[in-house]
Amino acid sequence: MFPIEDPVNCLVPDNLKEPISGSKTGPLAGLNFMAKDLFDVTGHKTSNGSPEFHKHAQASTVNAKAINQLLNSGATLVGMNICDEFFYSLTGANKHYGTPINCKAPERLPGGSSSGSAAAVAAGIVDFSIGSDTGGSIRIPSSFCGIW
């Protein structure tokens, strides 16, 4: 399963090198997930959608609390999703990494800054993905990509 196939351009260029396995038990055991590239993951350099930010970032020494909670619940983290640069857009486009493909409507934008997260789930690449939502950042791409 690794490296992950990326038919919808949802993964950051510097994706995880290996999956991070969750606990063997728990309500999410056996499920795979991805996370928007704003969540810190041990050993991964968070880019916030910006190659310039990524260039100067240090690899995280800890996981974000949400990542730890999902891993402790049994889910396995398999990838980091593209987001628009610094989460400033409602379109989901990233001029550096490309725009994730909305597989439900390929001629349309995926929407919102959590576009890679929504594109991954809509394409069935993972069981679920996490994003963020301050101005519709996950609600918009979920709507555009036909998921919830």
Select which of 36, 47, 50, 129 is catalytic: 36
Q: What is the dihedral of CA 41, 48, 121, 30, to 10 degrees?
A: 0
Neighbours of 104 (CB within 10 A): 15
Is 137 catalytic? The answer is yes
User: Which of these, 96, 80, 86, 64, lies nearest to 14 by C-alpha position?
Assistant: 80
Select which of 47, 115, 117, 137 is catalytic: 137
Is 115 catalytic? The answer is no
b/e map 71-84, b = 16+ CB within 10 Å: beebbbbbbbbbbb
Is 36 catalytic? The answer is yes
CA-to-CA dists, residue 134 to 1, 33, 87, 137, angstroms:
33, 21, 9, 6
**In angstroms, rounded to a whole number, what is the distance separating the alpha carbons of residues 110 and 117?**
10
Select which of 47, 113, 114, 115 is catalytic: 113
**In angstroms, rounded to a whole number, what is the distance separating the alpha carbons of residues 78 and 111?**
22
Active site residues: 36, 113, 137
